[in-house]
A and B are shown apart, each in its own frame.
Chain A
Amino acid sequence: MNWDVIFKYIPLYKKAAWLTLRLGVLGIVFAILVGAICAVIAYYRVPVLKRIVAVYIELSRNTPLLVQLFFIYYGLPKVGVSVDAEVCGVVGLAFLGGSYMAEAFRSGLEAVDKIQTESAYSLGLSRAKTMRYVILPQAVSISVPAFMANIIFLLKETSVFSAISLMDLMFTAKDLIGLYYKTTECLFLLVVFYLIILLPISILGSVLERRLRYAGFGA
């Protein structure tokens, strides 16, 4: 292990980590939006739209992100839809993550007993108020573990971005190994940087899970 080399490479990795984080966070935000919309459609069983959502969820959950990205980045330009690599990464992550988030939210919503909604209605609460004060607080605490797991999963998946030549952590490591053959140092830094990004989220996830386990109604 050559520490001089490591210190020399750190700035490059910092830049790459920033890109990984930026695209990852953007992708996750869009994934949450897509997921929330899909979950609401599935929960209220909106006609027609619920079929589209079901097809989307199955398509996105059963294909790998790498293949989705290849299709968007190399395939779509051939039919006239040209996308920038960064946009492509964010879109791919949102497409993949949307379905995972939708499943997490939907399972939370459906885990709330029907009797809760009915009691709220009979107490005279409006539909919106029932959602806001009765269902959501319970649903959120149920979906948090799956939600946190999804965030870690999506941040991990950003390593695939290197395949469409985005200069993320994986790409930088691969590039430096190819240029200088300092395999050990490059991979060591790669592991360290991914740990810096992912470990706090993983710890936060398990803390939240432990605290929220008591928040459910009657459990």
Chain B
Amino acid sequence: MQALGLDVLFKGKNMVRLLGGLWVALKISIISVAISIPLGIILGMLMTSKNKVIRGILRVYLEFIRIMPQMVLLFIVFFETTRVWGWDLKGETASVIVFAMWGTAEMSDLVRGALISIPKHQYESGSALGLTKLQVYLYIIIPQTVRRLIPLSINLITRMIKTTSLILLIGVVEVLKVAQQIIEANRMVSPNSAFGVYLTVFLLYFIACWPISMLAKYLERKWNT
């Protein structure tokens, strides 16, 4: 244990602090997903609209967000907008803004894909039966897309959790930052702690994400048949 540096974790409140750091990451991803799912559904529906101007603007915006590394977006929001607009932004708030924006873009693309995959005759039969546009969506299209979307949006949660590891770099104290602090504090007593502590962080992320991605896989298999 000494050689691998795992002993550090059992000193004082170190393990609890590490879990607290993980909770910060999870909290930020849950809030961001909660914001991005409804927004993504709305934008995704707008992306299938016939208006070329709306579609064009949305496409440019969404492609930009999806193509930029999330860290670049974090830097733009955290360093640039604060300077230009002079608002006081906490690291946590900046990360929620960025992840919500990114999640919305990803979600809207999933929604768009699901909507496109519905054959056109479903829409046409609906309107032939005299349903209004809203009714067609409400009773015909949405029930069919939801099954396809739920596993994909659950996957989005795990991607979000994994991406939150980046917020360390704009100074939010999350699990990796706590790990660094623990390693630094025990540098003299336990010089090898980096191995054990980072391995633990690795496993913590795995424990947080694995059940969620298993659930997504299970639902996908169940509903695809």
Question: How many residues in A have their beta carbons less than 8 Å from beta carbons of B?
Answer: 39
Within residues 26 to 78 of chain A, which ones have a CB less than 8 A from any CB in chain B?
Answer: 58-59, 61-64, 66-68, 70-71, 74-78
How many whole Å from B155's CB to the nearest CB in chain A?
10
- B137 CB-CB contact with A under 8 Å: no
The answer to whether A63 and B202 touch across the interface, beta carbons within 8 angstroms, is yes
Q: Tell whether, in the assembled complex, residue A177 and residue B67 are in contact, meaning their CB atoms are under 8 Å apart.
A: no
Contact of B194 among A59, A75, A160 (CB under 8 A): A75
Chain A residues whose CB sits within 8 angstroms of the CB of B67 once the complex forms? 152, 156, 194-195, 198-199, 202
Contact with A along B56-67 (1 / 0, CB 8 A): 000000010001
The answer to whether B68 and A191 have CB atoms under 8 Å apart is yes
Q: Which residues of A contact B63 (CB under 8 A)?
A: 202
Residues 189-210 of B, flagged 1 when their CB comes within 8 A of A and 0 if not, give: 0011111111101100110011
Contact A63 B206, beta carbon cutoff 8 Å: yes
User: Which chain B residues lie closer than 8 Å to A202 at the CB level?
Assistant: 63, 67
- Contact in complex: B75, A190 (CB < 8 Å): yes
Residues of B within 8 A of A71 (CB): 195, 198-199, 201-202
Residues of B within 8 A of A191 (CB): 68, 72, 76
Cα distance, A170 to B76, chains bound together (Å)? 12
Q: Which of B50-106 contact A (CB under 8 A)?
A: 63, 67-72, 75-76, 79-80, 83-84
Chain B hits for A162, CB < 8 A: 71, 169
List the A residue with the shortest CB-CB distance to B203.
Answer: A63
Q: Which of A61-113 contact B (CB under 8 A)?
A: 61-64, 66-68, 70-71, 74-79
Q: Are B202 and A159 in contact (CB under 8 A)?
A: no
- With both chains docked as a complex, state the minimum distance between the C-beta of B178 and any C-beta of chain A, in angstroms: 13
Complex CA distance for A9 and B212, rounded to whole angstroms? 44
Q: Mark B13-57, 1 if CB is under 8 A from A, else 0.
A: 000000000000000000000000000000000000000000000
**Contact between B202 and A68, CB atoms less than 8 A apart:** yes
Q: Does B131 contact A (CB under 8 A)?
A: no
Chain A binding surface SS class? helix
Shortest beta-carbon distance from A131 to chain B in Å: 26
In the complex, chain B residues 144-195 whose Cβ is within 8 Å of any chain A Cβ: 158, 162-166, 168-169, 176, 179, 183, 191-195
Closest beta carbon of chain A to B63's beta carbon, Å? 7
Tell me if B176 and A67 are in contact (CB < 8 A). yes
Would you call A62 and B194 a contact (CB within 8 A)? no
Q: Which residues of A does B touch, CB under 8 Å?
A: 58-59, 61-64, 66-68, 70-71, 74-79, 152, 156-160, 162-163, 170, 173-174, 177, 183-184, 187, 190-191, 194-195, 198-199, 202
- Apart from A62-B206, A78-B4, A187-B75: 14 A-B pairs, beta carbons within 8 A: A59-B206, A61-B213, A62-B158, A63-B205, A71-B198, A159-B70, A183-B79, A183-B83, A184-B84, A190-B72, A190-B75, A194-B72, A198-B68, A199-B67
Which residues does B use to contact A, with CB under 8 Å? 3-5, 63, 67-72, 75-76, 79-80, 83-84, 158, 162-166, 168-169, 176, 179, 183, 191-199, 201-202, 205-206, 209-210, 213
Task: Please list the 8 inter-chain residue pairs (A to B) with the smallest Cβ-Cβ separation, ordered nearest first.
Answer: A159-B69, A62-B209, A64-B165, A78-B195, A64-B162, A75-B198, A78-B192, A75-B195
